[in-house]
């Protein structure tokens, strides 16, 4: 039986008629970029996330880049982030001329560890005479980018407390976690991307809310920042052909916005279906006595009264025999993936930062041991059963 990592064809078949109608309407309107569809989608996302401002952009990468540009983070600045993420998180910091400072992860959630973050601030950074936090090379630390990996929110209470203590912006990379919730001590339940000053989303087609191409979005609390982001997404232009600062072409297409708006109303149903699939994997792995062979995804917020305590963008397990297991599954036509085979600090392009092997041990361990299993809202229990049986066979 062939089991793909992701198969959204059934989802598309169910929504083909309304999606095509929206595409036709955009074609008929001949308005292709930053028009009423983008505005309507921004409004719908604000309602869904309970966020004051949303700015549609061209991708998740461009969302991060636009935010860093709008906050005027650049040469001489540094930004703290996790070492275990998709490249864009670290890449964007370097692209604006700032220095990424990579911090280790929690081994269970794979998210930025608040303990490692606090240790890093206490032991590797110092406060200057003006009270600003500096790294060991004297760069001014401006922000923290926590990444809500695989559909699970970071421990935002602890990250917030540190950001407030040190005067740092929190830029949430919520690319993998649209709709995921976290119970903040002072604010109550909040959705990923709305817990810091600003949150970034990706609608890459494989994401829980996926476009038919590249698309992204920024949400923020401050109206001023939202205005600046609207300008940054058009080369820092305001009014037309007057450029106050340097931005880029980060514009969102009308067709993508129209498709995303159709799909948004199904997002919570899809996330619930992903969670049900995750529950089924969990039951089956337990039934087969495999829980001492593989580490299942952590669910630290399950009992906190949140619906979307995890949105299972990925179902990632960990085992010492990861590579041999993958090979076995591939022979059984089960597709898997490794997110990610290297920590960001180990990437060749970041060798100039001077990290050494062993600097971020939990990230390095996760990069060696984790594997993502097939998960998507419409995955059949039969397919999941087969995946579990194949894993059980491997460990017998």
Ligand X SMILES: Cc1ncc(COP(=O)(O)O)c(C=O)c1O
Q: Which of 49, 36, 33, 40 minimizes the C-alpha distance to 218? A: 49
Report whether the peptide linkage leading into residue 131 is cis, meaning its omega lies within 30 degrees of zero: no
Which CB sits closer to ligand X, 362 or 391? 362
Closest approach of Cβ 256 to ligand X, in Å? 11
What is the smallest separation between the CB atom of 264 and ligand X, expressed in angstroms?
A: 16
What part of residues 54-73 is at the interface with ligand X (CB under 6 A)?
59-61
Stretch that binds ligand X, among 18-26, 84-92, 101-109, 110-118 (CB under 6 A): 84-92
Q: Binding to ligand X (CB under 6 A): which residues in 191-250? A: 202, 204, 214, 216
Task: Quote the CA–CA distance of 151 and 34 in Å, as a whole number.
Answer: 28
For ligand X, the binding residue among 3, 49, 70, 88 (CB under 6 A) is: 88
Whether 229 contacts 66, CB under 8 Å: yes
Residue nearest to ligand X as judged by C-beta position? 60
Decide if residue 85 touches ligand X (CB under 6 A).
Answer: yes
The residue from 73, 145, 175, 387 that contacts ligand X (CB under 6 A) is 175
Q: Is 172 in the site for ligand X (CB under 6 A)?
A: no
Shortest gap between Cβ of 59 and ligand X (angstroms)?
Answer: 3
**Quick one: 89 or 194, whose CB is closer to ligand X?**
89
> By the 8 A CB rule, do 175 and 60 touch?
yes
**Which of 34, 54, 30 has its CA nearest to residue 44?**
54
- CB count, 10 Å around CB of 282? 15
SS3 of residue 107 by DSSP: coil
Options 37, 81, 82, 89; binder of ligand X; rule CB under 6 A: 89
Structure tokens, 5: 């990592």
Q: Shortest approach of ligand X to residue 154 CB, angstroms?
A: 12
Torsion of CA 391, 282, 105, 181, to 10 degrees: 150
User: Using the rule CB under 6 A, is 176 a contact of ligand X?
Assistant: yes
- Note whether 298 and 152 are within 8 A (CB): yes
CB of 127 to ligand X, least distance (A): 30
Does position 81 bind ligand X by CB under 6 A? no
The 120-159 site mask, x for binding ligand X (CB under 6 A), equals ---------------------------x------------
Tokens at 257, concatenated? 């916005």
Residues 6+ apart with CB under 8 A from 310: 151, 152, 180, 275, 278, 297, 299, 301, 302
| Residue 56: how many other CB atoms lie within 10 Å | 28
State which residue, 151 or 377, has the beta carbon closest to ligand X: 151
For binding to ligand X (CB under 6 A), which residues are involved? Answer: 59-61, 85-86, 88-89, 147, 173, 175-176, 202, 204, 214, 216
């Amino acid at each position: 039986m062939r089991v793909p990592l992701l198969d959204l064809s059934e989802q598309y078949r169910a929504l083909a008629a309304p999606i095509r109608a929206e595409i036709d309407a955009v074609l008929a309107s001949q308005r292709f970029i930053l028009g009423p569809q983008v505005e309507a989608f921004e409004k719908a996302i604000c309602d869904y996330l309970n966020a004051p401002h949303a700015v549609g952009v061209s991708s998740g990468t461009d969302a991060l880049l636009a935010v860093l540009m709008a906050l005027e983070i650049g040469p001489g600045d540094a930004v703290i982030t996790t070492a275990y993420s998709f490249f864009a998180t670290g890449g964007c910091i370097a692209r604006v001329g700032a220095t990424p400072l990579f911090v280790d992860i929690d081994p269970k959630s794979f998210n930025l560890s608040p303990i490692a973050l606090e240790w890093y601030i206490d032991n590797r950074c110092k406060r200057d005479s003006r009270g600003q936090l500096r790294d060991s090379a004297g760069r001014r630390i401006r922000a923290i980018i926590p990444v809500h990996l695989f559909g699970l929110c970071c421990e935002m209470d602890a990250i917030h407390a540190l950001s407030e203590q040190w005067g740092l912006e929190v830029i949430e990379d919520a690319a993998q976690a649209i709709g995921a919730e976290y119970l903040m001590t002072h604010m109550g339940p909040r959705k990923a991307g709305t817990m810091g000053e600003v949150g970034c989303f990706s609608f890459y087609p494989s994401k829980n809310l996926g476009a038919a191409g590249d698309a992204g979005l920024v949400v923020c609390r401050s109206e001023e920042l939202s205005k600046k982001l609207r300008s940054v997404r058009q080369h820092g232009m305001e009014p037309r052909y007057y450029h106050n600062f340097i931005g880029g072409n980060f514009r969102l297409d009308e067709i993508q916005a129209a498709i995303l708006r159709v799909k948004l109303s199904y997002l919570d149903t899809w996330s619930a279906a992903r969670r049900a699939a995750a529950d089924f994997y969990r039951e089956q792995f337990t039934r087969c006595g495999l829980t001492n062979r593989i580490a299942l995804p952590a669910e630290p917020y399950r009992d906190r009264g949140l619906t979307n305590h995890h949105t299972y963008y990925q179902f990632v397990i960990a085992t010492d025999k990861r590579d041999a297991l993958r090979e076995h599954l591939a022979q059984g036509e089960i597709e898997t993936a490794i997110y990610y085979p290297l920590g960001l600090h180990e990437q060749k392009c970041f060798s100039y930062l001077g990290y050494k092997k062993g600097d971020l041990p939990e990230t390095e361990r996760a990069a060696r041991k984790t594997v993502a299993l097939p998960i998507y809202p419409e995955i059949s229990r039969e397919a999941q059963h087969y995946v579990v049986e194949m894993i059980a066979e491997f460990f017998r």
